[in-house]
Chains A and B, each alone.
Chain A
């Protein structure tokens, strides 16, 4: 709806200019024709269901801000994951509190698994946030297909490596046996193959969408 309203405002402004109005008068007429901003805000917000508003809020929160460095974005994203994952895992542990207080073998495994999962997820959040930024930057800066594909290879390799690290880390956290962790890695091969191209596709789609938003957010209708 926001993009539609922007497009409509642009059309109204251009039509007012076409009728011979000055840019200032055309702008005033556009605002008058669109309606009272407070009433419109209420109208628009009441039209959008709560789950879409939540989805939008999450989307904007995890979007890299203009001028934000990759590292800052990755740290910001990771901190959110620290808090959210910590709460979820903590809740999970509370539900199994009897196993932990007994401190039998199951309790130890559960605690190691939880901590291992938390650490691995945080590392993944940080690394994949950086990789996502790097991939999107390639899509926005390099228009040529082959050079872009070549520059994406290191990011894809790191993504595949992260799958290995995740698989090894989680298995080691559960078993405390490095040999067992290496043996289990073969089950992670399909993910090693799927994750890197999936990251590229997600980065590409995200960049297309952000490029579109970036263009009309910078639209200056007073020109």
Chain B
């Protein structure tokens, strides 16, 4: 059985997962994906380049706030953008968690799988 979670299964919940990861500590995109992979035990498979449009949209909606990292002498080249959760993002995360719990309870009851 293929245990990886990818495509549309992942896309619909990406926003809540990103908010959840950022709740613990601000992070840039690469670190964010690394944490998602760690917590997902390697089952989350997404095309990494598609994360940034999602982050851009979330920032436009005010759910997260980005700032460019300070330039370091030892690291030259393109900068990384560090994202942190806003108040609105925290409320959206709580709403996302409630929706997920409701989703799991309903669908779990239908398919007969434990929550």
Report A's interface with B, CB cutoff 8 A. 1, 3-8, 10-12, 33-36, 39-40, 43-44, 46-48, 212, 215-216, 219
Contacts and interface: CB of A to CB of B under 8 A. Distances in A.
B30 interface: yes
B52 A8 contact: yes
Interface in B47-84: 47-53, 55-57, 76-81
Contacts of A39: 47, 50
A69 to B, nearest CB: 28
Interface-centre pick from A5, A6, A8, A11 (highest chain B CB count, 10 A): A8
A11 B49 CA distance: 12
Contacts, number: 70
- Judged by DSSP, the binding face of A is helix
Given A4-B29, A8-B29, A34-B47, A44 B52 contact: yes
Given A1-B56, A46-B53, A47-B53, A34 B77 contact: no
B66 to A, nearest CB: 9
- The CB with the most chain A CB atoms within 10 A, among B29, B49, B50, B80, is that of B49
6 contacts: A6-B77, A7-B81, A8-B48, A46-B53, A47-B56, A219-B77
